[in-house]
Structure 1
Amino acid sequence: MSTRERTGPRTVLVIGATGRTGRQVVDGLLAAGVAVRALVRHPLTAGLPAEVTMIEGTLQDPGAVRQAATGADSAFLLWIGDDPAEIPPVIDALTSSVRHVVYLSAADLRSGLGAGSAVQPGIHAEVERVLEASPSTWTFLRGGGFAANTLEWAGQIRAGDTVSVVHPGAGRSLVDERDLGEAAVRALRDPSLVGRALSLTGPETLTQEEQIAVLGDVLDRDLTVQERDTDEARAEYATLMGVDLADRALSYWATLIEDPEPVTSGIDEILGRPPRSYQDWARLHRLDFESLTTAEVAHRYAEAFRSGRIADATRMLDPDVVRVAPLEEGGVEREVRGLAAIMENAARQTEDGDMESVEVGDPLVGDDSFAIRFTFGMRAHGTGERFRTVKLSLCAVAAGRIVREEVFYHLNPSMNP
């Protein structure tokens, strides 16, 4: 750990600002009067407050990280990736400017009790090791199971009353992302937490079956738990996180049946109060699990765009949503599948200009679809020319989420109409 003198940060770089915890960090820092910079893949669709200075780039690009870190005093880091070879050059770029890094790590809660449980092996331990050898000071916040991970059940709950899970008896002490965000803001501003590694959990241990019962109580529904085939789950998780990580995760969950995760004192120690309960988290996220009508989806989607709340708008989209836009590739119909691919496509379509305004019409709602009109005000890079692009989206809805969007342009979206 460096002995470099540390003062309260004037500017903080947030890496992972568009995630659930990262957004809590952004909002907490702004509320405390701290200037915030954010490294984001697509500034247009980031949905961050206007006060945030956004630098376009990815965590895996040391040059972008160095640019984002320049001028920042401290940084909040959420590591995304599983290649340990990427860690040293990125940490070097980050710590060339910032004096202190708060890293949202992961706890190995089986290794011990209390606030100082060991780091989860693998990528988290490697990031910690490299940060310890860097010129910056650090604080490691080792989160236990994230309450937000139970959102993976949302699709099943919206579609019916049976929830299929692997190892229903696995006990976890889930932590609320609001508590993680508050703890990170405190660690960024409180010198007494420099050089500390604290494990953060919720206030109680609940089995996955008990967690689903909590969701049923909040939704006023009788939910049934069904044990899922482990091999089937392994195949699905392997496509999302790789075979090794999927195997480790499933093996870990199996151990939690006989040896459930403990509750640690990290949140109490940092924030001076008990952590929020899973029941509190479930009430806050009730909308994510509700099966909304087509009209409710349509109007909430429109209002989110009108208010500039892009993150709320994307919550109305199914993760596997399909988007068809016939005029975006020289008149050739192009189908884009998945939320991440759609966001990347949106960034490509606007890379030659800046969006200055969005007007949203009232949706026209049918039984299982709705139509909505958008008018985008754009300014071209270089020439400064202003122009408007009007599009009509026909959105199909199933289980309370948009599953397909067909886009029809009134004006060609090219920068040279």
Structure 2
Amino acid sequence: MTILVTGARGRVGAAVVRELLAAGEKVRAASADPESLTALPDEVERVRLDLASPQGLHEVLQGVRKIFLYAQPAGAARLADAAAAAGVGHIVLLSSLAIDSHGADTSPIAQQHRLVEDVLRASGIGWTFVRAGGFATNALQWAPEIREGRPLRLAYPEAHSEPVHESDIAAVAVRALLDEAHRGATLRITGPQSLSARQQAELVAAAAGRDVVVRLITPEEYLKELTAFVPEAVAATLVAYQAERDGRPHRTYDDIPAVLGRPALPFGQWAKENAEAFR
């Protein structure tokens, strides 16, 4: 049996590949640029796949029985149809807890993930949705400032999130791929603690042996800075998300312990493992 892993260039996808190999599974890693998958072990089959394009889709799916899928609305229905025709029996989707959040009906992040979930529900293929909260890796956005001793420009330094280690996301996804008990389940994945942005920045700075200074900026300034990297609608959603969580710890979920039989990895551990990025 071959398991197809999309998004294999990302941290979660690469971790899924490694865990599947450790479990003795045959893995086919897909990327729009397979030549970039140099960090993957040699035994991994590398294939070209652009989910927004039908080119090569049927060839990529030959012999595939399970898929780890990143949520990309463009081409989701085409992929589901081709997967069903190829005999794929189970798709594990990396989805988002934005679907469960306040304002999900107007959030482009929630909407794009919900669209792919809906496509898979209607596909006739077995599915598992891994709805992850904020990734611990989001803290890497602060690496240049912390390395260079510059202040972090934050509009809502006390806004809380529940950062989840990419290894936990991957471990849950792999368990869902290999264990039929999670077919048809929606797994909600968070880290074990609700931490403010300031607390997270202090943890990574401490792990790296650096100081951190927060400079408060206005929401309007923050929105303008974000729109240099993401569409305006997404930037507005992120600002509204932080405003809603300003000074408000949120709940964490127990699906990681339930699936893996161990506690979720704390953000402080992620900070220590990635300290070099902040030095």
Q: TM-score, normalised by structure 1?
A: 0.62
Match of 1:35 in 2: 26
Question: Does structure 1 conserve the Cα–Cα contact (< 8 Å) formed by 2:146 and 2:210?
Answer: no
Task: Please tell me the residue identity of whatever aligns with 2:64.
Answer: A
Q: 1:289 to 1:258 in 2, by over 3 A?
A: closer
Tell which has more relative contact order, 1 or 2 (C-alpha 8 A, sep 6+). 2
Give me the whole-angstrom Cα distance separating, in 1, the residues matched to 2:99 and 2:48: 35
Task: Please tell me the residue identity of whatever aligns with 2:34.
Answer: P
Match of 2:117 in 1: 128
1:28-49 Cα offsets, whole Å, 9 max, x none, are 0001110000111222221122
Give me the whole-angstrom Cα distance separating, in 1, the residues matched to 2:60 and 2:150: 46
Task: Please tell me the residue identity of whatever aligns with 2:59.
Answer: Q
**Is 1:205 matched with 2:194?**
yes
Match of 2:63 in 1: 71
Q: 1:106 to 1:31 in 2, by over 3 A?
A: same
Match of 1:104 in 2: 94
Question: Does structure 1 conserve the Cα–Cα contact (< 8 Å) formed by 2:9 and 2:36?
Answer: no
Per the TM alignment, residue 234 of structure 1 is displaced from its structure 2 partner at its CA by: 1.8
**Is 1:61 matched with 2:53?**
yes
Give me the whole-angstrom Cα distance separating, in 2, the residues matched to 1:123 and 1:261: 23
Higher helix residue share:
2
Per the TM alignment, residue 235 of structure 1 is displaced from its structure 2 partner at its CA by: 2.5
Question: Does structure 2 conserve the Cα–Cα contact (< 8 Å) formed by 1:76 and 1:103?
Answer: yes
1:358-404 Cα offsets, whole Å, 9 max, x none, are xxxxxxxxxxxxxxxxxxxxxxxxxxxxxxxxxxxxxxxxxxxxxxx
Structure 1: gaps (5+ residues): 1-9, 113-119, 291-417
Aligned residues: 271
1:65-112 Cα offsets, whole Å, 9 max, x none, are 3322221110000124xxx45332233223432110000100138659
Give me the whole-angstrom Cα distance separating, in 2, the residues matched to 1:227 and 1:68: 48
SS in 2 for 1:96: helix
Higher strand residue share:
1
Give me the whole-angstrom Cα distance separating, in 1, the residues matched to 2:211 and 2:143: 15
Question: Does structure 1 conserve the Cα–Cα contact (< 8 Å) formed by 2:149 and 2:211?
Answer: no
Match of 1:155 in 2: 144
SS in 1 for 2:234: helix
Question: Does structure 1 conserve the Cα–Cα contact (< 8 Å) formed by 2:205 and 2:212?
Answer: yes
65-74 vs 228-237, which moves further: 228-237
SS in 2 for 1:153: helix
Structure 2: gaps (5+ residues): 103-108
Match of 2:16 among 19, 25, 38: 25
Give me the whole-angstrom Cα distance separating, in 2, the residues matched to 1:126 and 1:96: 21
Per the TM alignment, residue 161 of structure 1 is displaced from its structure 2 partner at its CA by: 4.5
Give me the whole-angstrom Cα distance separating, in 1, the residues matched to 2:136 and 2:84: 30
Q: 1:33 to 1:110 in 2, by over 3 A?
A: closer
Match of 1:230 in 2: 219
SS in 1 for 2:188: strand
Supply the RMSD in Å over aligned alpha carbons: 1.8
Match of 1:345 in 2: none
**Is 1:240 matched with 2:229?**
yes
1:200-255 Cα offsets, whole Å, 9 max, x none, are 00011100000011112212222111223322332332232211111111111110
SS in 1 for 2:55: helix
Question: Does structure 1 conserve the Cα–Cα contact (< 8 Å) formed by 2:99 and 2:110?
Answer: no
Match of 2:35 in 1: 44
Give me the whole-angstrom Cα distance separating, in 2, the residues matched to 1:104 and 1:198: 10
1:326-366 Cα offsets, whole Å, 9 max, x none, are xxxxxxxxxxxxxxxxxxxxxxxxxxxxxxxxxxxxxxxxx
Give me the whole-angstrom Cα distance separating, in 2, the residues matched to 1:236 and 1:95: 42
SS in 1 for 2:97: strand
- Structure number with bigger Rg: 1
Question: Does structure 2 conserve the Cα–Cα contact (< 8 Å) formed by 1:137 and 1:194?
Answer: yes
SS in 1 for 2:227: helix
Match of 2:174 in 1: 185
Match of 2:106 in 1: none
